[in-house]
Amino acid sequence: MKVAVIGAGISGLVAARDLVSSGHEALVIEKSRGLGGRMAARRAEDMVLDHGLPVLEVPSGGLLADLVRDLAPNGVVRLDGDAVAWPAGMTVLPKAMVAGVDVLLGTRVAALREGGQGIEIAQDQGNTIGVVDAVIITAPAPQAVELLATLPGAPARADALRAVGYDPAVMVLAGLSIDEPGWFSARPDSGPIAYVINETVKGRAPTGGVIPVVIRLRPDDSARLFDATDDTVLGEVLPALTEVMGHSTPVAWTQVKRWRYATTRGRLDQDRMNPAGARVIIAGDAVAAGPSVEDVARTGQWAARRLHSG
């Protein structure tokens, strides 16, 4: 069986690995140019910063624990509780997961067309990527709705997915010319900042005395400032950062990043969303049992096994 997996976040990569290990073909198609979805890392001013997921929670005995142990044990930094990170960035694990998996990056799927030979995958320029036996969609719900809407017999599933809302996230990556903080994260009780992450705790030494931090705004403030200019965002964030730090914070550099679909508001039952015999399966955060990365990863495993067992 040949399966297209739409989305290279954790659920899509888990699904692809599970399919390949069971003897099937899997092609992961990702609209961006990077792997891992929200497990994103970025290099700025010769520093690595995780501007999506700040740490990976790895519950003992879970699916993620197995992946870290088998694929990316080298250099892993263990933080408080079950949290881990890598000096080279959170993308270490996604990059290890695609070994033996076909991946097509920088390609947006615009339509799915069912026919006698299978399901045709069409990209946004109208070209056909290929024909497959089944599809697993792990993209955020609004993007999954667009694809389901191109299929006959799927309007009820598309309508259900429309009920899944998302909070955006505005992130500020910054280099601070300060002494290295003695903490990993600061989480103020008020103001626009949800948290500040000290990236040096992940085994990343300061460069030239500059401390890399990642600042995430609260959901309401992220929604309010999502379409604002970078200067407007920084005009609110930097004064608030001074209050969080408790002292003046000379800023060497900044970058503003935005996630339109950062966290879900409400989730659907994966089993109900995917009737028996369906050849287009929904996985990802919209149908996860809970909000954790472990929950989201398990939706990819579920989707793959629904296909190769049915």
User: Rounded mean pLDDT of 235-250?
Assistant: 93
Three-state SS for 297?
A: helix
**Among 25-29, 136-140, 141-145, 244-248, where is mean pLDDT lowest?**
244-248
- Helix axis angle, 141-148 to 155-162, nearest 10°: 160
- pLDDT of amino acid 310: 65
Residue pointed to by tokens 């995430």? 216
User: Rounded mean pLDDT of 107-126?
Assistant: 88
Domain ranges for the chain, please list them.
Answer: 2-35+98-164+266-309, 166-264
CATH number of 166-264: 3.90.660.10
d(CA 233, CA 20): 44
Q: How confident is the model at residue 116 (pLDDT cuts 50, 70, 90)?
A: confident
User: Rounded mean pLDDT of 148-152?
Assistant: 84
**In the predicted model, what is the mean pLDDT of the chain?**
94
- pLDDT of amino acid 117: 85
Indicate if the pLDDT at residue 125 is higher than 80: no
Residue-wise DSSP of 208-229: TTBEEEEEEE-HHHHHHHTTS-
Indicate if the pLDDT at residue 280 is higher than 90: yes
- pLDDT of amino acid 248: 87
Is residue 198 within 8 Å of 185, Cβ to Cβ? yes
- pLDDT of amino acid 228: 98
For the chain, give percent helix, strand, coil, nearest 5: 30, 30, 40
pTM for the model stands at 0.95
**Among 112-126, 161-175, 217-231, 272-286, where is mean pLDDT lowest?**
112-126
d(CA 288, CA 131): 28
Give per-residue pLDDT as tens, 37-86: 999 999 998 899 999 999 999 999 999 999 999 999 999 999 988 999 99
User: Rounded mean pLDDT of 15-36?
Assistant: 96
Q: For residue 2, what are the β-bridge partners? A: 25
According to CATH, the topology of domain 2-35+98-164+266-309 is FAD/NAD(P)-binding domain (3.50.50)
End-to-end Cα spacing for the chain: 11
Indicate if the pLDDT at residue 308 is higher than 90: no
User: Rounded mean pLDDT of 90-116?
Assistant: 93
